[in-house]
């Protein structure tokens, strides 16, 4: 907790503690994101930051509106009610007040909403990272368990292996519950499975809990899950390659052949009609092709599995 967060907590921390139940989803997102910032500190920082940003932008836009006399640039046309024309002499003051209030509400509200959704974004990133590295982490766990290492020590070793990304973080939390808080392995697995953002990790940990509680062969369970996730991983990669091929064909058809056909057609029509400024040709060249290509890149990037 830095000095700014400490300042915000000193101002609003006690009030935020009484409102914990109203921010249930936010608290879950902070836990899933493995944030080191306590809930009371985070929400206090969010509120103070929203007020500071709102006031700062209100002063800035209000000053710009007043100094540049932007409201005086508004012209009335047609039949305008007398009540509005009567207020025209106060347009500068009223416009400045409107700019101040709008900036305060918009930018302050936007900042507050951004704080609320940020932990959910972090949790989502962790979920994708865990799902991407989980098959390899389970292979590592299976190898260690086959060598006769105890399950608790297996998770400690996994937590000490940073190459497995967020899976190592979850394993460190399991080891922390055992070593620091004195929980047994089942309770530690239950605690982490309840807070992990990945459904696949939750399923894996719950299965391990059931296997330990039933006295089953945990090494065999690890081996079975390793084979299952390896098969699912291959199927996911095959599906992605098939989808990527379909997208490539769509790109060639729509953005290469389609736009080339439209350019040729519009060029011929412009020559026949004698048009000197073919607007549609400009739209195709400078808008459709660049933005269409960017949309395809964004779509492929969002679909690409993390490695």
302 vs 84, higher pLDDT: 302
Q: Is 147 helix (H, G, I), strand (E, B) or coil?
A: coil
Q: Whose CA is closest to 134, among 217, 72, 226, 58?
A: 226
- From the centroid of its chain, how far is CA 296? 20
Q: Which of 37-51, 60-74, 204-218, 280-294 has the lowest mean pLDDT?
A: 60-74
State how far the Cα of 293 lies from the Cα of 27, in Å rounded to an integer. Answer: 39
Cα-flanking dihedrals φ and ψ of residue 78, to 5°? 80, -165
Q: Whose CA is closest to 112, among 7, 8, 2, 35?
A: 8
Q: Whose CA is closest to 166, among 118, 125, 219?
A: 125
Please report, for the chain, how many H helices and E strands are present, in that order: 13, 0
State how far the Cα of 17 lies from the Cα of 21, in Å rounded to an integer. Answer: 9
State how far the Cα of 11 lies from the Cα of 3, in Å rounded to an integer. Answer: 13
In this predicted structure, what is the pLDDT of residue 202? 92
Instruction: Kindly report, residue by residue over 6-51, the tens digit of the pLDDT.
Output: 888 888 877 887 877 788 888 888 999 988 888 889 999 999 999 9
Residue 276 pLDDT > 90: no
């Amino acid at each position: 907790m830095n000095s700014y967060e400490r300042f915000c907590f000193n101002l609003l921390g006690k009030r935020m503690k009484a409102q914990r139940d109203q921010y249930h989803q936010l608290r879950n997102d902070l836990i899933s994101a493995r944030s080191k910032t306590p809930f009371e500190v985070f929400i206090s920082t969010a509120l103070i930051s929203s007020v500071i940003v709102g006031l700062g932008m209100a002063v800035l836009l209000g000053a710009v509106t007043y100094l540049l006399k932007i409201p005086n640039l508004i012209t009335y046309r047609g039949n305008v009610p007398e009540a509005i024309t009567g207020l025209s002499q106060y347009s500068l003051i009223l416009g400045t007040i409107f700019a101040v209030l709008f900036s305060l509400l918009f930018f302050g509200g936007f900042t507050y909403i951004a704080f609320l959704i940020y932990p959910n974004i972090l949790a989502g990133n962790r979920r994708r990272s865990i799902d991407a590295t989980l098959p390899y982490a389970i292979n590592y766990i299976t190898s260690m368990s086959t060598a006769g290492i105890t399950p608790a020590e297996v998770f400690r070793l996994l937590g000490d292996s940073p190459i497995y990304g967020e899976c190592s973080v979850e394993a460190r939390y399991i080891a922390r519950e055992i070593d620091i808080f004195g929980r047994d392995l089942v309770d530690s697995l239950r605690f982490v499975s309840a807070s992990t953002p990945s459904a696949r990790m939750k399923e894996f940990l719950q299965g391990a809990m059931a296997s330990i509680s039933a006295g089953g062969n945990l090494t065999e369970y690890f081996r079975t899950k390793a084979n299952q996730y390896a098969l699912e991983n291959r199927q996911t990669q095959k599906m992605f390659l098939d989808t990527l091929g379909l997208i490539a064909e769509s790109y060639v058809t729509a953005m290469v052949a389609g736009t080339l056909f439209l350019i040729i057609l519009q060029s011929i029509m412009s020559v026949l009609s004698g048009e000197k400024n073919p607007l549609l040709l400009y739209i195709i060249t400078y808008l459709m092709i660049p933005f269409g290509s960017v949309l395809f890149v964004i779509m492929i990037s969002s679909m690409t599995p993390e490695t």
